[in-house]
Structure 1
Amino acid sequence: MLKALVQLALLPLPWFLRRLLLRGLFGYRIHPRARIGLAVVAVRRLHLGDGASIGHFTIVKGVELLELGDHASIGRGNWISGFPLGHPRHFVHQPERRNDLVIGAHAHVTNRHLLDCTGGIAIGPFSTLAGFSTQILTHSIDLTTNRQSSQPVSIGAYCFVGTDCVLLAGAALPERSVLGAMSLLNKAYLEVSHLYAGVPARPVKGLDPQFAYFHRVDGYVQ
């Protein structure tokens, strides 16, 4: 809460000064060419690589580590949260739980998504969380034990997640794969270069591994 209040107080300042204060006050690692807009990033550890950015009106809280690789970005209006580590009642059966969000180089989370990082989220390099209103949910109630439980969600390198999808705890999208719009991914798949779609998502067809999207050396798409 204190970090959030301090950052709100710092928002009117020019970015170069705000960056220096965030580094000095909280020990955040922010590259000189990285940038945070009018956003609140109340995390324990922050690593922003060269050219990484976080857009206006994004809120990040309750996350242990937020890491963006070089030229990775989080767009505008995203809500990113996690259940903090070390709670005396919840998740005590998962002492190795990590509530991190790690986004690889040149990967992009666009606008107005909801990410629950309680069990950890990893998004591989050059991947895109496209459109808006996608939800990644890494924890839920285990009805068999009547307790909160979490599992990580992973999105491989060079993936494309369409608009308005849901990815549940334990889900994994293999590298160079597409999750079709409005799909529900509720398990870990291993077959790379595939289109997955539906509710729940299933492998629909293989994708040509020579697609230009899968071989970008720059995250920008014309």
Structure 2
Amino acid sequence: MKKLLTLLFGLIPINIIKIFLLRTLGHAISYKSYIGFGILAVKNIELKKHSKIKHFNFIKVESLILEESSFIGNFNILNGPLTVFLEKHAGISKQNKIRRSKAPISYGKAVLHLGENAIIVSNHFLDLTKSISIGQHSILAGIGSQLWTHGYYHDDTGPARIRIDGEIKIQNNVYVGSRCIFNPGVVVNNAINIGAGSIISKNLMEKGMYVSQKMRHVDNNIITIRSKLKKVKGHNLIEEVYSKNG
């Protein structure tokens, strides 16, 4: 009922009335924040002063936390059982798709966490099967990047396959150019610049500039992968899932 009333109150065009009614539902929303016209189906909302949710967003998540002067721009889709936490001056600009499937496809909790002054620019895709964190003063720039926290490995023959999940952690002062693809479980350390069109399939630890590597052959099979990773148990998942994060 709270989520339904939040959705209905979020459609009210006058900001101060909208905030007043949302506060009556228990949401912690500053009168100095702003909520535009859009779909807002969220169990818990916390908006600090000067934070903004602009127009024509579809936001259906468990929890939405915007610290002071953080923002969500226009025409974004945030959908699934996840928490979105933006620290001061952080932002999600426009036309981004951020999604997570429900159980029994996903399991546990997932958080999209943007550190202070971190920015996701436009038209990017983030898969939140597991959590994604982007550190202070880092930017997912340009357009068309994809961050994947799950992937698959198929057996050599027959229908067998396993899913491999892993959180993505982008640290502080990182620049990511257009149309980069992040694989599950990767870590990008501080003070790294990633050129446009790069594929990030392993941890980047040494500061400096990185560009996409040439395609290479990896001698691998499903049995070897099972032996290297930890199987996820106890969540009634619909498929065989392994974690890259231990």
TM-score range, shorter chain: 0.7 to 0.9
Aligned to 1:139: 150
The amino acid that maps onto 1:34 is S
**CA distance in 1: counterparts of 2:4 and 2:153, whole angstroms:** 31
TM-score (norm 1): 0.77
2:6·2:22 contact (CA, 8 Å) conserved in 1? no
**CA distance in 2: counterparts of 1:159 and 1:43, whole angstroms:** 27
**CA distance in 1: counterparts of 2:19 and 2:145, whole angstroms:** 29
TM-score (norm 2): 0.70
**CA distance in 2: counterparts of 1:50 and 1:154, whole angstroms:** 23
Q: How does 1:86-105 map to 2 (within 5 A)?
A: 87-88=103-104, 90=105, 97-105=108-116
**CA distance in 2: counterparts of 1:21 and 1:181, whole angstroms:** 44
Q: Please state how far the C-alpha of 1:9 moved relative to its aligned partner.
A: 7.1
The amino acid that maps onto 1:172 is V
Identity %: 27
User: What is the aligned length?
Assistant: 192
Q: Please state how far the C-alpha of 1:10 moved relative to its aligned partner.
A: 2.8
Structure number with greater Rg is 2
1:69·1:103 contact (CA, 8 Å) conserved in 2? yes
Please, which runs of 5 or more residues in structure 1 have no aligned partner?
Answer: 202-222
Aligned to 1:159: 174
Aligned to 1:216: none
Q: Please state how far the C-alpha of 1:41 moved relative to its aligned partner.
A: 1.7
Task: Note the aligned Cα RMSD (angstroms).
Answer: 2.5
2:135·2:170 contact (CA, 8 Å) conserved in 1? yes
**CA distance in 2: counterparts of 1:120 and 1:143, whole angstroms:** 24
Q: Does 1:172 align with 2:190?
A: no
Please, which runs of 5 or more residues in structure 2 have no aligned partner?
Answer: 26-42, 216-246
**CA distance in 1: counterparts of 2:68 and 2:48, whole angstroms:** 5
Aligned to 1:10: 10
Q: Please state how far the C-alpha of 1:197 moved relative to its aligned partner.
A: 1.1
1:45/1:157 Cα in 2 relative to 1: closer, same or farther (>3 Å)? same
Q: Please state how far the C-alpha of 1:19 moved relative to its aligned partner.
A: 4.0
Aligned to 2:77: 59
Q: Please state how far the C-alpha of 1:4 moved relative to its aligned partner.
A: 8.4
1:41/1:16 Cα in 2 relative to 1: closer, same or farther (>3 Å)? farther
Q: How does 1:69-218 map to 2 (within 5 A)?
A: 69-84=87-102, 87-88=103-104, 90=105, 97-143=108-154, 146-191=161-206, 193-199=207-213
The amino acid that maps onto 1:139 is H
Q: Please state how far the C-alpha of 1:113 moved relative to its aligned partner.
A: 0.7
Q: Please state how far the C-alpha of 1:32 moved relative to its aligned partner.
A: 2.7
Which runs of at least 4 in structure 1 moved beyond 6 Å after TM superposition?
Answer: none
Q: Please state how far the C-alpha of 1:64 moved relative to its aligned partner.
A: 1.6
**CA distance in 2: counterparts of 1:11 and 1:132, whole angstroms:** 29
Q: Secondary structure at the match of 1:47?
A: strand
2:9·2:22 contact (CA, 8 Å) conserved in 1? no
